[in-house]
Amino acid sequence: MSAPTDAKLWLTLEAIPGLGPDAAQRLLQAYAGPEQILAASGAQLESVVGKSLARAIAQGVDAALLQPGLDWLAQPDNHLITWLDPAYPAALRDLAAPPAWLYVKGDPAWLSRPMLAIVGSRHASPQGLRDAEAFAQALSEAGLTIVSGLALGIDAAAHAGGLAGLASSVAVVGTGLDRVYPARNKTLAHRLAAEGALVSEFPVGTPPKSGHFPRRNRIISGMSLGVLVIEAALESGSLITARLASEQGRDVFALPGSIHSTLAKGCHRLIKQGAKLVESAADVLEELAGVLPARGGAASSAASPGSTPDGAGDVLLEMLAGGPLILDQLAGRLGLTVEDVSVKLLAAELDGTVAKLPGGLYQRLF
């Protein structure tokens, strides 16, 4: 799938000045599709979207405005998924004003997987970054595709962790998919396009604008079973995503922190408001057990942190079966870098399978 057969009609509809998600949904409820909408008279459209917008639709748009989008869709792995497409994410259909179309770069199949959003501060602490990556990897190994917004900080760490697991990661962005914002995440964006997916409701060429990010956030939460917030100040945009998730009937999770840290205050407020306090990936999975599909296949074969990518077994825990070991010993025996083993150990600690002992030793708990 690259684009619907009537892609030009959808791009024409999208190019109508002032046509937002709410008006687009009203039109799609009144008409069978973009061909019927664009063929309608101004008088017919006026009762659906008002005089000004009806006039704009009836006037049409310059065909030259459509060419960048058509050129983009002609490239490999670029897709346009519309409201009428069976591949449109089912979870988004429940939103009050869902996007009428989604641009996707990568594999659209990831949008049909069970998803969990992980969001947080752009100015995260080193511990927060480690937590985000470890939680994301453990939850991805358990079969949840990790969704975030490609921002610096917690978002980027969550994407990295999701990509390291079996269920990969999806980034929802507030720009056109022909650009990467922030530019520092260009390499990460390329990995997501190759191993997961990038998603936007904004047309090719759209620059970053402050008003786009709340719209992006509603898609992040709307596609997800729940939202996990890791490190958020009281003014953090992550709290907007959490609020949207609550309004959409999604679960909200928050990782607590020090009472002295400004980056913990947003999470603590969410917990006071009813968010589930989580200390491990198992806490999230337990809460979602009733809505997650039955685990099986590749996802379940590597559900524990530290599992090998091919599902051959939990090598990390096997190494610790004979007794506690230090980080360097584990890295040497596993043939991995100290950094890679540190991430796996943190994930295992969060999952309750490994404990850190005095002297830098790590012990298997069962």
Neighbours of 129 (CB within 10 A): 21
- For 69, residues 6+ apart whose C-beta sits below 8 A from its C-beta are 7, 11, 14, 80, 203, 204
**Cα distance between residue 149 and residue 19, in whole Å:** 24
What pLDDT shows up at residue 323? 79
Position with higher pLDDT, 240 vs 345: 240
What proportion of the chain, given as a percentage, has pLDDT over 90?
71
pLDDT in tens, 210-220: 889 999 999 99
Q: Which of 68-82, 166-180, 231-245, 315-329 has the lowest mean pLDDT?
A: 315-329
The amino acid sitting at 186 is K
CA 302 to chain centre: 21
**Cα distance between residue 205 and residue 176, in whole Å:** 5
Q: What is the CA radius of gyration of the chain?
A: 22
Check: pTM over 0.95? Answer yes or no: no
pLDDT at 51 over 80: yes
**In the numeric block, which tokens belong to residue 63?**
């065909």
Burial class, 81, CB count within 10 angstroms (exposed 0-12 / middle 13-18 / buried 19+): buried
Taking a C-beta distance cutoff of 8 angstroms, is the pair 210, 120 a contact?
A: no
Neighbours of 165 (CB within 10 A): 26
Residue 355: what are its φ and ψ, rounded to 5°?
-125, 145
Neighbours of 209 (CB within 10 A): 11
Sign of CA dihedral 236, 241, 98, 115: positive
- pLDDT category of residue 308 using cuts at 50, 70 and 90: very low
Position with higher pLDDT, 336 vs 277: 277
The amino acid sitting at 156 is A
What pLDDT shows up at residue 160? 97
DSSP H or E segment with residue 94: none
Q: Which of 173, 134, 157, 115 is nearest to 291 (CA)?
A: 115
Which of left, alpha, beta for 336 (phi over 0: left; psi -120 to 50: alpha)?
beta
Spell out the domains of the chain, with CATH numbers in brackets: 1-65 (1.10.150), 108-287 (3.40.50.450), 304-364 (1.10.10.10)
Q: Which of 70, 83, 89, 59 is nearest to 203 (CA)?
A: 70
**Cα distance between residue 219 and residue 192, in whole Å:** 17
